[in-house]
Structure 1
Amino acid sequence: MKDAGRIILATGGSLGDLHPFMALGRALQARGLEAEIATAIDYRDKIRAAGLGFHEVGPGVEKLKQDTGLDLASLTAAIARSDRFLFGDILLPYAEEATRRLIAASEGAAAVAGSTLAIGAQLAAEHWRIPSVAVSLQPTMIFSRYDPPFLPSAPWLKPATRGPQLWLNDLTRLLGRMSTARWTNLINSIRASLGLPPTTDNIIFDAGRSADLSLGLYSPLLSPRQPDASPNFHVAGYAPYDSETGKPSALSPELEIFLNAGPPPLVFTLGSAAVHIPGAFYTESLKAARMLGHRAVFLTGPEGDPSLDDGWSDIHVAGYAPYSLLFSRAAAIVHQGGVGTVHQALRSGRPQLVVPHLGDQYDNAARVVRLGCGMTLARARYRAETVASRLGALLGAPGITAQATAIAVETRIEDGAGTAADRIASLVRQPPEQL
């Protein structure tokens, strides 16, 4: 029997993929609906601490390490080298099992909402004949012909409205469809095993087009709705959530003392994924901060970085700090360009230097530059002298600072979680014949 108030939220990936769904879950709860998140076991305790339901779906980190024979750093490096590894070796081999788990989790639910990385979400909704919601967390996954993502492998892709550039964008998209079309065969074999008809949808280029509702949980400042978007697609805005444990966030007493003891510091972070492949990021960052004579905060993740332990009193090193509380107190933010980190930096009103490492980070960095509130620097060129030069230019550019401040005013009033929750609530409360 269907529970008209229970929504399954399916996601996978890093904290940048999880946090918007936690924000959406809490917004659904505020509207009288139940929200249960289906994702890897690694996030169970955090999700439950936030008062949300949990279902284990998809492989956790330990399972992936065991099956691939790679440690976490090697896994992250492989994903950074090729998106095809992410889809072909991480997502698709587990798609059938994940789909069946999602079907079990969503029995009796009112709807299933899934991210691009939650391949089985659409199939689970079709199995139970309930509404499906597709969620894109970054413009990259929309891959508009008018506003295509910046890709290192296809640097010729650029925004266009007509003419040769638009034709080039179309040709590139066509070649991309052709090179990934084989993955549709695997999806169709899963569909057949569930008694569902085959699809012609490409899991990358057609994500969300067959859903009852498709949402962009990112700021329209990064990319507004494009003319070639499907009729069911809406850009809801960013859905902020920021907690390490699922409980209310706070800066550590030690970090509070450091922040209060001097001028705003530079903040260096690599998020929750690229932090596993830091290379010389922290070492070169420390040198750059010293060249500038600037205080600095380094967020190094759970493994830390012993190269920063040199006793310099003008730095503070921590594994984690909530971005929503720290970034606004920075002079500038140097980060990897994950979509969650970008949004928190936009909301802070501080200039950004983005150093992309993998996936959508290259496109997110390009959009930050396009907005005029930051710069980007290739990882291969991340050397102290260059970093110090870029940061000096950022800190000495009042126009960039003013633009960052203006953008913060706009992004802070976005309520992506609330807007998305309203649309989902309206969807599940429609009479069945209107779906």
Structure 2
Amino acid sequence: MRLLLLTSGTRGDVEPFAALAHRATAAGHEVRLGVPENPGVDLAGLDAVGLDVDFHRLVAEHGISPWTAVRYFRREVGPGMRRMLAAAVRETLAFRPDAVVHHAKVLTAPAAARALGVPHVLVEAVPVLTPTGEFPAPGVVHRDLGPLNRSTYAVGRGATRMFRRDLLRACASLPGGNTGAVAAALAPPTATLVAASPQLLARPADWPASVHLTGAWHDSSPGAALEPAVEDFARSGPFLLAIFGSMAAGDPLARGRAVVGAARAHGLRTLLLTGWGGLALSEDCAGPDVLVRAGAPLDLLAPHAAAAVHHGGAGTVHAVARAGVPAVVVPFLADQPFWGRQVHARGLGPAPLSRRRLTTTALTAAVGEALGCRRRAQEVGERIRQEDGLAAALAVLEDLPAHP
């Protein structure tokens, strides 16, 4: 089976697709993976092509926020999306796949698949496009609206309308031209793969049968290893792990000070992963009980932690939960408040803590609550480790009809 996987965004959007590409290739399928430039993910051994947009550079220079997207839309975000949409069409026509599996940002994927007469499969790491009455669209509304929950999912379809002109321009090169391209982009996919663990997200009863909650797409790299100094620190006693990924808004020094203070209040050491600048260590907080690194493989590091403090990104939530470690979620934007609520609802940590209220006092109390959730976290982690989301996703793809 020839599978074209298309993703776009930052590292968290690329890693699951790379894991699926590795698994599908190992199963004997011919796989091509389309990714943004400079994805920050090891793609060795994969047939990977670039999609002419560098989200890493955009985030590194301007940060991640809705206001960033608006401010730099005309100069960078819009042109980047335009190039990516056209590149996705180009690579689909070049590869001639039997099925197109795509991230929601790749708006031209459904039209390209339709033009070739093959199925297209939508991937949701966060369930933002499949309506349900059980909770509002993550990232759109942060509280239950009851009977209005389903209506919040209309917001997710707005991207198709926002980029309508670019979508039509990119699809003009398709066989038959761009007629019906917008309708195809809005039409239901042949199947939807929600790459999340049922331990963190119960499958809504009103999802259609074509939507599959597969479990997270996790594939440990056999060559991954912790830096010796990090491994020595991790094995030398309990510590608080803190990571905020690409979330750099606000004062990273103040956050670092709060994390170190909360850890010391509970007799813990601190390991700060600074990522793209979300955390920093001030000189007055330095000491032998604190280690700072830009990053480290979470799957290898997290199991050694007593608890974690993080931003609530889908990938980080799953990595920490898989490790059996309780967490304090400090959400910044988008789907992060949703995952923070899921962590709390499942007894894996306290209620999400606002980043604007991230003081040493508040975090000390939250870490105390998290430490009390350790047994529950270990139980859930064991169940997550038994899941094989990649196998479940591949089974759906192998069972797709030859024509949509």
Task: Pick the TM interval, shorter chain.
Answer: 0.7 to 0.9
| DSSP-derived class of the 1:41 partner | coil
Q: 1:98 to 1:74 in 2, by over 3 A?
A: closer
**Using the alignment, how far apart are the partners of 2:385 and 2:162 within structure 1?**
39
| DSSP-derived class of the 1:388 partner | helix
Give CA deviations for 1:150-173 in whole Å, capped at 9, x if unaligned: 55x634425xxxxxx22x324545
1:189 is the counterpart of 2:164: no
Q: Which runs of 5+ in 2 are unaligned?
A: none
Instruction: Between 95-104 and 313-322, report the one with greater CA deviation.
Output: 95-104
8 Å Cα contact 1:127-1:196 kept in structure 2: no
**Displacement, 1:144?**
2.0
Q: 1:362 to 1:146 in 2, by over 3 A?
A: same
**Displacement, 1:257?**
1.4
Q: Which residue of 1 aligns with 2:316?
A: 341
Q: Which residue of 2 aligns with 1:99?
A: 85
Instruction: Between 330-339 and 115-124, report the one with greater CA deviation.
Output: 115-124
**Using the alignment, how far apart are the partners of 2:376 and 2:184 within structure 1?**
38
Instruction: Between 209-218 and 337-346, report the one with greater CA deviation.
Output: 209-218
8 Å Cα contact 1:7-1:111 kept in structure 2: yes
8 Å Cα contact 1:95-1:120 kept in structure 2: no
Give CA deviations for 1:362-407 in whole Å, capped at 9, x if unaligned: 1111111111111210111101111011112222x2xx22221221
**Displacement, 1:46?**
2.2
Q: Which residue of 1 aligns with 2:33?
A: 37
**Using the alignment, how far apart are the partners of 2:149 and 2:69 within structure 1?**
19
Q: 1:135 to 1:92 in 2, by over 3 A?
A: farther
Q: Which residue of 1 aligns with 2:136?
A: 148
Q: 1:181 to 1:38 in 2, by over 3 A?
A: closer
**Using the alignment, how far apart are the partners of 2:326 and 2:9 within structure 1?**
27
Q: Which residue of 2 aligns with 1:112?
A: 100
- The code of the aligned residue for 1:211 comes to P
8 Å Cα contact 1:288-1:387 kept in structure 2: yes
Q: Which residue of 2 aligns with 1:295?
A: 269
**Using the alignment, how far apart are the partners of 2:359 and 2:134 within structure 1?**
35
Q: Which residue of 2 aligns with 1:52?
A: 46
| DSSP-derived class of the 1:334 partner | strand
**Using the alignment, how far apart are the partners of 1:425 and 1:125 within structure 2?**
17
- Select which of 17, 23, 27 maps to 2:23: 27
**Using the alignment, how far apart are the partners of 1:86 and 1:416 within structure 2?**
36
Which has the bigger relative contact order, CA under 8 A and spacing at least 6? 1
Q: 1:394 to 1:100 in 2, by over 3 A?
A: closer
Instruction: Between 114-123 and 87-96, report the one with greater CA deviation.
Output: 87-96
**Using the alignment, how far apart are the partners of 1:414 and 1:86 within structure 2?**
40
Q: 1:143 to 1:16 in 2, by over 3 A?
A: farther
8 Å Cα contact 1:191-1:198 kept in structure 2: no
8 Å Cα contact 2:34-2:48 kept in structure 1: yes
8 Å Cα contact 1:267-1:332 kept in structure 2: yes
| DSSP-derived class of the 1:274 partner | coil
1:233 is the counterpart of 2:211: yes
Q: Which residue of 2 aligns with 1:391?
A: 367
- Select which of 198, 202, 212 maps to 2:180: 198
8 Å Cα contact 1:112-1:132 kept in structure 2: yes
1:403 is the counterpart of 2:376: yes
1:11 is the counterpart of 2:45: no
1:355 is the counterpart of 2:343: no
Q: Which residue of 1 aligns with 2:225?
A: 250
Q: 1:192 to 1:73 in 2, by over 3 A?
A: closer
Q: Normalization by structure 1: what TM-score?
A: 0.81
Q: 1:184 to 1:157 in 2, by over 3 A?
A: farther
| DSSP-derived class of the 1:42 partner | coil
Q: Equivalent residues in 2 for 1:263-278 (5 A)? A: 264-271=238-245, 273-275=246-248
Q: 1:128 to 1:179 in 2, by over 3 A?
A: closer
**Using the alignment, how far apart are the partners of 1:9 and 1:213 within structure 2?**
14
- The code of the aligned residue for 1:157 comes to D
Give CA deviations for 1:23-66 in whole Å, capped at 9, x if unaligned: 1111101210122221112038721x2x111111041147x64x
% identical equivalent positions: 26
**Displacement, 1:258?**
1.4
Q: Which residue of 1 aligns with 2:201?
A: 223
**Using the alignment, how far apart are the partners of 2:48 and 2:149 within structure 1?**
40
Q: Equivalent residues in 2 for 1:160-171 (5 A)? A: 165-166=146-147, 168-171=148-151
**Using the alignment, how far apart are the partners of 1:129 and 1:56 within structure 2?**
24
Q: 1:318 to 1:181 in 2, by over 3 A?
A: closer
8 Å Cα contact 2:195-2:214 kept in structure 1: yes
Q: 1:268 to 1:407 in 2, by over 3 A?
A: same
1:380 is the counterpart of 2:353: no
**Using the alignment, how far apart are the partners of 2:40 and 2:272 within structure 1?**
27
- The code of the aligned residue for 2:227 comes to S
- The code of the aligned residue for 1:269 comes to I
- The code of the aligned residue for 2:273 comes to L
Q: Which runs of 5+ in 1 are unaligned?
A: 66-70, 159-164
Q: Which residue of 2 aligns with 1:68?
A: none
Q: Which residue of 2 aligns with 1:162?
A: none
Give CA deviations for 1:106-150 in whole Å, capped at 9, x if unaligned: 222222111112222222212322221110011244342222245
